[in-house]
């Protein structure tokens, strides 16, 4: 069965400074438990704010290292999920359910891509 990576993009400028609400965390926990029991979820996690990140870049034959925050980015990767699904349609359905547990003030999107095997 194919595996899919769902990359969670968030707009840090509109996310609550205190992080997700207790209610959101509970809804996410319940959904993650359901996805895991369905045998779909292989791994998932949130990430620390971009201000705590570092970018290492190879360009023009040289390495550069830049510490966050990265002001040029409106959306940043806030987390990920690796799911094993029968097809992309199933991966998209689980992803839609994940997005719907968020409160209306969140600006969040997910990029879903099949993991290349081989």
pLDDT at 72 over 70: no
**For the chain, what is the mean pLDDT?**
93
pLDDT digits (tens, 9 = 90+) for 62-71: 999 989 777 6
pLDDT of residue 36: 97
pLDDT digits (tens, 9 = 90+) for 13-27: 888 888 899 999 999
Phi, psi values for residue 50, rounded to 5°? -60, -25
Copy the structure tokens of residue 10. 């968030």
Q: Which of 93, 71, 80 is nearest to 45 (CA)?
A: 80
**pTM strictly above 0.95:** no
Of the two residues 70 and 45, the one the predictor is more confident about is 45
How large is the greatest C-alpha to C-alpha distance in the chain, in angstroms?
48
């Amino acid at each position: 069965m194919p595996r899919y990576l769902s990359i969670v993009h968030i707009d840090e400028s509109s996310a609550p400074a205190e992080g997700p609400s207790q209610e959101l965390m509970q809804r996410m926990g319940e959904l993650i438990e359901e996805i895991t029991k369905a045998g779909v979820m292989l791994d998932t996690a949130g990430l620390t704010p971009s201000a705590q990140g570092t970018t290492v870049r190879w360009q023009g034959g040289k390495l550069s290292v830049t510490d966050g925050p990265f002001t040029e980015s409106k959306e940043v990767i806030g987390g990920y999920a690796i799911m094993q699904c029968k097809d992309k349609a199933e991966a998209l359905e689980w992803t839609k359910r994940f997005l719907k547990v968020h409160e209306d003030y969140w600006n969040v999107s997910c990029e879903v891509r099949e993991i290349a095997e081989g």
